[in-house]
Structure 1
Amino acid sequence: MNYENILISVDNNIAIITINRPSKLNALNVATINELHKAFKTLNKNNEVQVIILTGSGEKAFVAGADISEFAHFSVKEGAQLAAEGQEKLFDFIENLKTPVIAAVNGFALGGGLELAMACHFRIASDNAKMGLPEVSLGVIPGYGGTQRLPQLVGKGRAMEMIMTAGMITADDAHRSGLVNHLVPQAELLEFCNGIAQKIKKNSPYAISKAIKSVNSNFKEGKNGFKTEIKAFGDCFGTEDFKEGTTAFLEKRKAVFTGK
């Protein structure tokens, strides 16, 4: 499939999605959100893809925010619909993907850009990255899950300060607060992400998908994370991956998983 706003490459079971709007600092517009949804949906169905890395083109920005010109004139109803559709189509969709998604934050990650990074399963940032949720300076609040995911990652008080001041934090601050897992020089960012992806893909794709579901369930209203974990744990026992993993361990060899 041809895309106008993103680039996709797949090599050795690892896919890289690059948001490619450098003249707009990779800002999210409706077209880009739609393309990202299609790309993630397609890659998630591809059994050859075991890890997805998401990044932005250029050296300045991961995603510098949403395209404000698209919604500056919206009504109350249109604004709510924008948030609902965006969350369902992209942000919640990524969070619940069975394929692990790593955000390679290579510069500014502001507003919808930070929300996009937070929807990924974890984040690795370049040392020049800056992150923030500036929405209240525009008279609105984060609408793509920012008020929910940021407190989960950095704690309520720190999240409240970031949201209410509308300020940016440095990559060092993001690392110290747990918003990003690792901090590396920009030139080494994708290589570092690829190294982690290589470790992930050695493990059972089926088990990883169940682990993602179990961790996420702890943060979902009405869900009991422990019950989800128990069921997912039991489900693993009926898979080829479990048989291969335990047999390989007992035979003292490396397991070869199929995701089945």
Structure 2
Amino acid sequence: MSRRTRRGGGPPPEQRRGPVTARRGQVEHSTTDQRLLDTRSPASFVHSDPWRVLRIQSEFVEGFGLLADLPPAVTVFGSARVGRDEPEYELGRRLGAALADAGYAVITGGGPGTMEAVNRGAQEAGGLSVGLGIELPFEQDLNDWVDLGVSFRYFFVRKTMFVKYAEAFVIMPGGFGTLDELFEALTLLQTGKVTRFPVVLMGTAYWSGLLEWLRSTVLGSARIKPGDLDLVTMTDDVDEAVRLILEGTGRAGPPAAATSGDETTSEVGGAAAAGGAPS
């Protein structure tokens, strides 16, 4: 009997699965499409780690695809708990407009409060307003002044987008989330993961205490180097913040010499930030 025949006549049953050939007992009597469409798997598989990996991958792909064509952009962080009648809201609105006038798109977390103010200022000034939201149990839809937005499930994917598609950070007064983003940026700079990336703190009254603690306690305990304090600059002035970003990203000329009357802006390593002489 031929090796290609079997009892009963004819060659053995054969099935091609892409580049794979299956014969005899390995032949399946349904197609992949049939099994996809005709069967209902337990829902538990969508909560498994392999499925989560696919969701994480899809968020990166969606974020990269959405933001790849952004013009130069600045990410602004701040509190969601700022009312529209507060001075901080107006400050954010002016900042968004000034960044748009300087040719930047603005990126925020897309929520209310300071984020809304910055998005609103940018949109009203004719700039591109981007919001990167996050799935939370208690908040929040993207605000109405977001022109281009996406919401993420995973904080670490969202953080990547904040850094990858921005040339600078502006940190306005905020809570744990804002502090998280501030120290994330400083860590990336300190370790050389990103370079030429200005970080500007808006609000000397709000941030001075933190910077003094960094100087007196963290630097004083040799947990950071003196140069690490130069990674961030503090100001109260919107135009100064934009100038620092333009200079820090190489989009403007070298900074002018500071005058004796200019006390609104300081390096963290400078006297105004610390309230005293440099270490």
Which structure: larger Rg? 2
TM-score > 0.5 by shorter chain? no
Q: Which is bigger in relative contact order (C-alpha 8 A, separation at least 6)? A: 1
Q: What is the TM-score with the length of structure 1 in the denominator?
A: 0.31
